Amino acid sequence: MAFGVKRQEVAEWKEAVSRGEIAFLTHYWLDDRFPGCRTVTKAGCTDLAKLEAWGRQYGLRPEWIDHKERYPHFDLFAEREYEILKKEGREDLISRFRLTGTQKA
């Protein structure tokens, strides 16, 4: 279940992903499979070669790409979410969602 994100933010993420940009969408998230995680970041791009190359630099495997709808993306959570957002300079998301890098998947 996703919450804490505005429709406009989702629309902007979809537009950026559709343009072939690596785009990030972070939201609060509850999933019984990951009891220690309270957020997830979707890192998406319709250019699959670009998305795969981007993911490889962070140790993400191409088979982990979620091909839902028309917006292929990696789901990032827990420590990996924090570390990637930090390296990508997304302090805005880290601050907004109070990420600390101490969540466990």
Instruction: Give per-residue pLDDT as tens, 31-78.
Output: 888 888 889 999 999 999 999 999 999 999 999 999 988 999 999 998
The verdict on residue 104 lying in a domain is no
User: Higher confidence at residue 26 or residue 31?
Assistant: 26
Answer yes or no: are the C-beta atoms of 5 and 42 closer than 8 Å.
no
Residue 2: pLDDT over 80: no
At 5, the pLDDT band (50, 70, 90 cuts) reads confident
State the total domains in the chain: 1
Range of the domain at 89: 2-96
Cα–Cα distance for residue pair 44/28, rounded to 1 Å: 17
Q: What is the pTM of this model?
A: 0.90
The verdict on residue 102 lying in a domain is no
At 104, the pLDDT band (50, 70, 90 cuts) reads low
The verdict on residue 88 lying in a domain is yes
The verdict on residue 37 lying in a domain is yes
Tokens of 26: 């972070």
Q: How many CB atoms lie within 10 A of CB 62?
A: 13
